[in-house]
Amino acid sequence: MALGRLEVIGGEKNFWLYSKTDGFDLTHPPTPTSPFIYPRILLETTKARVAIDPAKTALVVVDLQNYFLSPYLGRPSNAVGMKVVDKLLEHAIPACRKAGIQIVWLNWGLTKQDIDEMPPTIIKGFAADNNFDGPRRIKELGSEIGPVQLGDTVVEGGQVLMRDQWNSALYSPLKEKHQPQDILIHKNRLSGFWGGTASEEILTSRGIRTLLFAGANTDQCVGGSLQDAFTKGWDCLLLDDGCATTSPDFAKRCIEFNCEEGWGFVLSCKDLAVGVENMQTALGARV
């Protein structure tokens, strides 16, 4: 459907506006002919310019937990996930704070019932985790890690990826940036947007329509969550340097390619920060 110079993409309840000069408008006004939504953030993605409404947007950070990142559990100090943390701390998180974009920490947080009902394929995947460096070897979900030496302090590592344990907490440098208004959602599968989590209900109740994805691993928990969210109707933007994986590079590139071509859009954490820096509060005006 065309509307003047704007093309309407989608149906009555969920649509984008598009023009060759301005790209894709993902701000979700009430109707295609409603006034433009302000404030708005213009983002340069790898394929097109995109406009988003910060009030309807959330940054979803997937699985950046002590279990996956902490060198105190034997994770390599040069792990690819550390570069992701740096990009989020330098660009994405400050940009979201400035723009009022909701931050969602989407983490593994299992219960005993989750363990009892866990499919064997998930258990097999964790048992094959070879990304630890050193003598500590952790295998089973829910198993006891035991004491962990944190410099001069010893803490109980807790049960692997169970809720409210040290190992399942946000990686320490990110935990320091946690704020009370942030949302923590527990997941019990690679995807945080399937029927066993509260993601859909929580985000819908807050009017969130657009999701910026970051975290680990690009081709596993991030990719699975993004695909489910895209299928359920959210606008999905992947922060390519805000995600990482220990899989071969082609696995990461496959997710990025599909996101560029069909699932949504791809941009960097700095692209997000630049867009926020130039956020428009009214026609032609910046913050």
Could you tell me the domains of the chain? 57-265 (3.40.50.850)
Residue 94 pLDDT exceeds 80 = yes
CA distance 214 to 63: 9
Contact of 59 with 103, CB cutoff 8 Å:
yes
Alpha helices in the chain (DSSP H): 66-69, 80-87, 93-99, 112-116, 120-127, 172-175, 199-205, 223-231, 249-258, 269-277
- The stretch 214-232 carries a mean pLDDT of 97
Q: How many residues does the chain have?
A: 287
Asked if pLDDT for residue 284 goes beyond 70, the answer is no
pLDDT digits (tens, 9 = 90+) for 150-178: 989 999 999 999 999 999 999 999 999 99
Euclidean distance between CA atoms 240 and 64, whole angstroms: 15
Cα 115 from chain centroid (whole Å): 24
**14-23, 33-42, 68-77: least confidently modelled range:** 68-77
Residue 121 has pLDDT above 80, yes or no: yes
pLDDT(71) > 80 = yes
- Interval 103-112: pLDDT, tens: 999 999 999 9
- Cα 63 to its chain centre, rounded Å, is 9
Whose tokens are 């992947």? That residue is: 238
φ, ψ at 34 (rounded to 5°): -65, 155
Distance from CA of residue 271 to its chain's centroid?
16
pLDDT band at residue 282, thresholds of 50, 70 and 90? Answer: confident
Q: Which of 67-76, 77-86, 265-274 has the highest mean pLDDT?
A: 265-274
pTM across the whole model: 0.94
Section 121-147 average pLDDT: 75
Phi-psi region of 140 (alpha: psi -120 to 50; beta: other; left: phi over 0): beta
Whole-number Å distance between alpha carbons of 26 and 265: 11
**pLDDT score, position 1:** 43
- Lowest model confidence (mean pLDDT) among 103-107, 129-133, 241-245: 129-133
Query: What are the φ/ψ torsions at residue 99 (nearest 5 degrees)?
Result: -85, -10
Question: How far apart (Å, rounded) are the C-alpha atoms in residues 192 and 108?
Answer: 9
Could you tell me the CA-to-CA distances from 30 to 53, 93, 210, 266 in Å, in that order? Answer: 13, 29, 15, 26
| Amino acid occupying residue 74 | G
Q: How many CB atoms lie within 10 A of CB 152?
A: 5
